[in-house]
Amino acid sequence: MKANFKLLYIVLVGIIVFSCKNEPIMFDNSKTFVAFVSAEASVVENENVLEVPLMVAALSGSPAVSVSFEVVTDGIDNPALEGTDFTVTPGGSVDFPEGSGMVNLSIHPIDNDQFTGNKSFKIRITSNSKGYNSGAQDEVTIELKDNEHPLASWIGIYDVAAVSYGSPGAWDESWVVTTEADPDDVNNLLISGIGAEGSGPVSAVINLEEMTLTLSPGQTIGDPYGYGNISLYKSTEAGDDLITDEPLVGVIEEDGTIRIDLLGMLITDGDYAGYLYDVFNSTWTKR
């Protein structure tokens, strides 16, 4: 009985597959839309240009279409002003002679010699000449990153050599760490990537007089190793215990290299809660 049922099932599946395999995938004008490729982008204010792709998804051979857009700053705390902080080309609208495809809007940041913080603005699609629907991403937020930030020299990407206390050489690690300006405090950096890509961010205070980088104890970087969430603490000199009430202080050297020693990682939850994952002496070299 089971054998007969299996045979009947195979025959039915074969009929369905055979009858459907030549059905074309249909796309009609009702599915045409206009949208930005990304919802957000950024550019440092001293860079030349940022290209922002705008697309019309339509059938090949569709009539030419013009897409209109506007620059807006609603809902933005530190807005960038067109003509003062940036320009956009083309301005106001862009043409798609082939009726579909992708065209870049060029954002030209205007550099200055003052620190005003990172500024943002939005480009919003307002209409198009064929009345096509707008896609989900009908606007893009552009961030202009201020290159006059007092911590600009230490903002960027670092290759980190982390030497293990648990087993030097065998358990050493390499990290790619990203530092960003803290939007809430000009003296702080936000650090991501300690331990693994995607970890963090944690906050570090930069002291430009003493040239130090200080991490308050107990900040969590997430679960980069799969054993549970990990918090950062200063370790003892022996590397076998943690000092939970002292900050972790690194040194910024003259060439820009950052060194953070006795960087202890405590697993705080899961099956291994309370275990010391490892302690590292780390050297950070900016790319």
The pLDDT of 99-116, averaged and rounded, is 94
Q: Is the pLDDT of residue 93 over 70?
A: yes
Under the banding of pLDDT at 50, 70 and 90, the label for residue 230 is: very high
Closest Cα to residue 255, out of 213, 281, 285, 283? 285
Closest Cα to residue 225, out of 197, 255, 259, 203? 197
Query: Does residue 223 sit in helix, strand or coil?
Result: coil
The pLDDT of 84-110, averaged and rounded, is 96
d(Cα 147, Cα 154) in Å, to the nearest integer?
11
pLDDT at 20: 44
The pLDDT of 229-257, averaged and rounded, is 96
Model confidence pLDDT, tens digit, residues 151-202 = 988 999 999 999 999 999 999 999 999 999 998 899 999 999 999 988 999 9
Question: 11-20, 64-73, 186-195, 213-222: lowest mean pLDDT where?
Answer: 11-20
pLDDT at 147: 86
Q: 172 versus 145: which is more confidently predicted?
A: 172
Under the banding of pLDDT at 50, 70 and 90, the label for residue 15 is: very low
Under the banding of pLDDT at 50, 70 and 90, the label for residue 228 is: very high
Q: Is the pLDDT of residue 274 over 60?
A: yes
DSSP 23: P
Model confidence pLDDT, tens digit, residues 18-70 = 444 445 444 556 689 999 999 999 999 988 899 999 999 999 889 999 999 99
Nearest-10 Cα torsion for 239, 241, 246, 252: 20
Q: Where do the domains of the chain lie, and which CATH numbers do they carry?
A: 29-145 (2.60.40.2030), 152-286 (2.40.128)
Burial status of residue 166 (CB atoms within 10 A of its CB: 0-12, 13-18, 19 or more): middle
Phi, psi for residue 22 in degrees, rounded to 5: -100, 5
213 close to 206: Cβ distance less than 8 angstroms: yes
pLDDT at 60: 85
Confirm whether pTM is higher than 0.85.
no
The pLDDT of 114-127, averaged and rounded, is 94
Calculate the average pLDDT of the chain.
90
**Assigned token pair, 255:** 């060439």
- Find residue 42's DSSP bridge partners: 143
- CA 245 to chain CA centroid, Å, is 32
Q: Go through 114-150 and write b for each residue having 16 or more CB atoms within 10 A of its CB, e for each that does not.
A: eeeebbbbbbbbeebebebebbebbbbbbbbbbbebe
The total number of residues written for the chain in this structure: 287
Q: Is the pLDDT of residue 248 over 50?
A: yes
Q: 112 versus 106: which is more confidently predicted?
A: 106
pLDDT at 19: 42
**Assigned token pair, 131:** 């009345």
